[in-house]
Amino acid sequence: MNLALFDLDNTLLNGDSDFEWSQFLIRIGVLDRELFEARNLAFYEHYKAGTLDIHEFLDFQLKPLSRHARKTLDQWHQQFMREQVTSMITPAARDLVKRHLAAGDICIIITATNSFVTAPIAREFGVEHLIATEPEHKDGEFTGGVADVPCFREGKITRLESWMTQRGWNWDSFADTTFYSDSLNDLPLLAKVKKPVAVNPDNTLRQHAERHGWPVMSLR
């Protein structure tokens, strides 16, 4: 039994779904451009630089979910998928996932982006298992808070190992473990797997991959 892990943003997607969701809400008039766009851009730059305060970002990202009914949010997300996300999925990314699924590997999309944004994207790839940052909800509606450990940096390892434990598995349960990622923020999990793969990597990850002999590939 093999385990294939996929980061989502800028790895399977040619773009960042977290960033684009906020931009989408700005574009359709749900969020005020003047108030939100500069902060969204600033958070994205901190993420790319490896200096993101995840709790500050999640407060910014999840609060808008609490201001609208889930039914309305779901309708907006369907529009977001049509207008923004499908064009960010390259044939190469689809083919990579399909190869692992066809081989019978346990496939997981593991992402810092919240599960409201990413669950429909995981379904689009045909991936059953998603480990993402979980928005807190009450009676079916979002509260604006976070449930469980954010799925970010070392938090990805925490959440993945919890997922394994729930199924009676651990790292030794898998003959091979592979993780595809673009980001320096994923270095902790990349270092845990047997086969780390840098996909469209940022400069820090590319240099690390070259020093350690990790494969580097592009899905674009």
Cα distance from N-terminal residue to C-terminal residue, the chain: 29
Task: Write out the catalytic residue numbers.
Answer: 7, 9
User: Please, which residues have CB within 8 angstroms of residue 119's CB and are 6 or more apart in sequence?
Assistant: 130, 132
Q: Which residues of 128-164 are buried (b: 16+ CB within 10 A; e: fewer)?
A: eebbbbbbebeeeebebbbeebbbbbebbbbbbeeeb
Find, among 171, 191, 163, 190, the residue nearest to 179 by Cα: 190
Strand 176-181 with 195-199, pairing: parallel
Tokens of 43: 């958070």
